[in-house]
Amino acid sequence: MKMYRQQKIIEALLKFRLRKFNFEHIKIEVYDRFDGDSYMCRVEVFKGGQGIANRVLKHEEYLTDGFVFELEERLSNLVIQKSRK
């Protein structure tokens, strides 16, 4: 139950924090590595559809306190780079 709750909390938080980027689909998956109490989180962000060709970012790492902030910073940098092109 703890892992499911973590996934729902992260999903709500990310959808709220990333709404300024106007992404169409954010896919979040939290899973157990079975190496203690640590969980991994995989986030895929899509714009213009839900296929691989429309994926803007795939981010996967340990679920820590700074996970959401690191993801948001990475997306901000990516959006800034794409706007400069």
- The domain total for the chain is 1
Long-range contact list for 5-11, CB < 8 A, 24+ apart? Answer: 6/30, 6/39, 6/63, 7/41, 10/41, 10/63, 10/67, 10/68
Q: What is the pLDDT of residues 32-82, one digit of tens each?
A: 878 777 888 999 988 888 888 889 889 999 988 888 888 888 888 887 777
pLDDT of res. 85 = 64
How far, rounded to the nearest angstrom, does the alpha carbon of residue 8 sit from its chain's CA centroid?
12
Where residue 28 sits, what CATH number does that domain have? 3.30.160
pTM above 0.85, yes or no: no
Angle at 78 between CA 80 and CA 82, to 5 degrees: 55
Question: What's the CA gap between 73 and 16, in Å, rounded?
Answer: 15
Name the residue range of residue 58's domain.
Answer: 2-84
Backbone phi and psi for residue 49, each to the nearest 5 degrees, phi listed first: 145, -175
